Each structure stands twice: as structure tokens, then as C-alpha cells.
A and B are shown apart, each in its own frame.
Chain A
């Protein structure tokens, strides 16, 4: 039993009839794993911690950079100056916002070897990531362990979100059968992103989280919500009939967890003494160098021939050289840290 005075801070949302005191007590008892703490993730964490979600595990591999501040709402200039990991900087801010909730920051690269541990015991998994490798990993874990999750994505002025309840709704692979190959869709680094687009998507995700955590799954969005803040459009396309795809969905129907089992995805190898890391990303088919070059030319200099593509980039004063092969493999010079290389790959080559 929670005493009434400590619930005073939640009085406005408790007055919202579907929540009430019972809903608030469910939120206070809830455990959420947040995968990624960038633009989506900071908005999600901000809303959920203010709402009184009892336990929030925040996982992110990156450090706060100046280009994050335009849209990543929990960070400020001092976090950049102190070179803080995003998970730690976010946790410090979140504890100031609400000292009564438990925040567990984890500075780690989410991959198939650790994601099941990170999601163990969670009532809900939230997608605050920026790439499809993590989203398909989340989808595998969520289906395997029967945990709901909420997908969100945004690029440019456009965003989309869908809510997955295993066994009830389509899963991510029912709707999007495979991840875009590297370079085939924009990333926030190559195509840009407006803060409102990504923050609105995250706000929808957070609303879904509140519904799910308070037992209002009847109220969730069962369609694919797509919006564009520049073109003033918002639509919901029907995906419910895709659930399981008549037994053809490899994930939720056949329980083949290809990302978790390592059939798909990225592996990194530090190339000792060369200040370089090899990123092995398995793609189906071959990369289209002309298309990838067209996308990357906005961020650096690109040359390519039949066999490989070279991409030179300067980020925060540090030069990097990508050598990308047709099969999706890349050697990234300028770092010997696998996490940094994976971050650079996800940012510029994408998933």
C-alpha cells in the first residue's frame, strides 16, 4: 500500500479516469527496459520517469555529442564537456526529475549475447534505438519471452510507430520482412531529422507504454501509425491481418529467432595495431555502391570501384576512413574500439 502524500506528484494523471490510483500503483510496480537513449530514448525516459514507472533500465553505447543536443532532451552542454556516456548522463538527469524511481544505466553495445539479460524481468521493452539490427533483436527477444514492445522510428520530418503484443498483434517481421540493406534507407546522419518528428513518435510510444503497463491493452494502437510533420500528414495503415502471416512469419509463427541466433546482424573484430575495426554485416545480395555513394556524399568524400567503396569522414575533429565491400563488410580506420566502429557503421551505412 502506497501512502497518499507520495502519490501527490502523480495527481494529474491519476485524475485521468482510465488510470486512477490503481493505474498509478501499477506504474510504480512496473519494470521497463529501454534499448537506446538518443532522440527517441530520452523522450521515452523523460515521460516514463515523470509518470512514475518504478524501474527503468537504460542501455546505450554512445557518448553525448554536440549534434545530439538539437533533439535529445535529457542532455546539455555540460554532458558534452564532461564526455559522459548517454546512459549515465540520462540517469543523472532522470534521478533529479524523480528520485523515487530506480534507474539502472548500462553503458553497453546491445547485441545478441546480452539482450536477453537486459530484458529479463521486464514488463515492457521500449525501442529507443536508431537501427534495425537492434529492433529485430528486440523483436526476437520479445516474441521468445512473451514481452510486449513498442517500435518507433524517425528520419527527416517523417516517423512511424507500432505496438507489438506477442500472440495478439503482428510482430515487426510480420510487417517488415527484412531490414533495409546498408545505405538503402536514410539515417538521421545522412538524411537529417527534425526534433518534433522524433519527439512525437516517442510520445506516442510512451503513451502505448502507459496503456500496456496499466492493463489497458484494449486501448493500444493496433495499426502502423505514420506521420510527417512537414507535410502535415498522419495516417494509420491496417496491419492487423498480417499477424503471423498465415504461418509464414519466421519469427512469431515459426519461432526462428534469426537475429538472436546470429544468422543476421553485425560482428566486429578489432584489427590489432592498425587503429581499425572490421564490421561484418551480413546482407542479402550485394550492396549498390552507386546508391550508397549518393547517400554518403553529403557527409564526406566518397570514391568507389567495382570492388570497394572508400568513404572519408571527419566527425568531431576525428578523421575516419571506411572501406566498404560489396557483401556489407567494412573496415573502419580511425578507431580501435568495436563499439565506436559499430556506431559509425550504424550512423552512416545504416541498417
Chain B
């Protein structure tokens, strides 16, 4: 199952500059695990003690997983998972 994970600029140093990574997985948890398998440096940028860092939001096709099924949110072929951290500057 092909899932696209969109990588925000602050995490791209851990993905070799890639803005999108193709992964597989039936849930958000599994998809992120596959991302971490491919790019281990992303693990601590995204997770802290097994929880997604509180300033990073995860959207599945532009829907926040916190009102879907959190990390257990089911994914279907072709969906886009976006990692969106808060933007600080200004």
C-alpha cells in the first residue's frame, strides 16, 4: 500500500533533503514506523517517549488525526500523511 508522507523543512536534514517519502503501512503508526525504518534520524524528531511531539500535528488528507483515530487512524492506498510542526518565526 503506497502512502506518501510529507516532510516539513525542519525534518528534511533527517531525510536527505527529501520533502516526500513513500512508505507502506495500514495505520499512521505503521506508516511512521516505515518512515523511521528508512530514515532513522526522524525518530526523535517526531516522537518523544512514544508520543508524537506536542508541537507536531499529523494530518491524513488534511484531517487532523486527533479527531480521527490518533495513531491508529487507518490509511488507504494513495493517501497523504502530512507532518506539520508549529512555525515559530516572524
What residues make up the interface of A, taking CB atoms closer than 8 Å to B?
36, 38-41, 127-132, 152-160, 175-180, 184-188, 191, 193, 198, 201, 224, 226, 228, 231, 235-239, 241-242, 245, 285, 288, 294, 350-351
Contact = CB atoms under 8 A, between A and B. Distances in A.
Contact of A186 (B19, B55, B89): B89
Given A176-B55, A179-B86, A351-B88, A231 B10 contact: no
A187 B89 contact: yes
Nearest to B59: A237
A175 B57 contact: yes
Contacts of A156: 9
B54 A176 contact: yes
A177 B54 contact: yes
Contacts of B10: 184-186, 191
Q: Main SS of the interface on chain A?
A: mixed
B86 A132 contact: yes
Given A180-B55, A237-B59, A154 B87 contact: yes
Interface string B52-90: 011101010011101100000000000000101111111
B57 A198 contact: no
Given A129-B90, A132-B88, A237 B62 contact: yes
Interface residues of B, number: 25
A198 B19 CA distance: 21
B90 A242 contact: no
A178 B88 CA distance: 12
Contacts of A129: 90
Contacts of A239: 64
A289 B9 CA distance: 20
A185 B89 CA distance: 9
Contacts of A176: 54-55, 57, 86
B90 A185 contact: no
B88 A180 contact: yes
A224 B19 CA distance: 20
Contacts of B54: 176-178
B86 A152 contact: no
Given A128-B90, A130-B90, A198-B90, A180 B85 contact: yes
Given A185-B85, A191-B9, A179 B55 contact: yes
Contacts of A245: 66
Contact of A237 (B8, B44, B84): B84
A237 B64 contact: yes
Given A242-B66, A288-B44, A188 B89 contact: yes
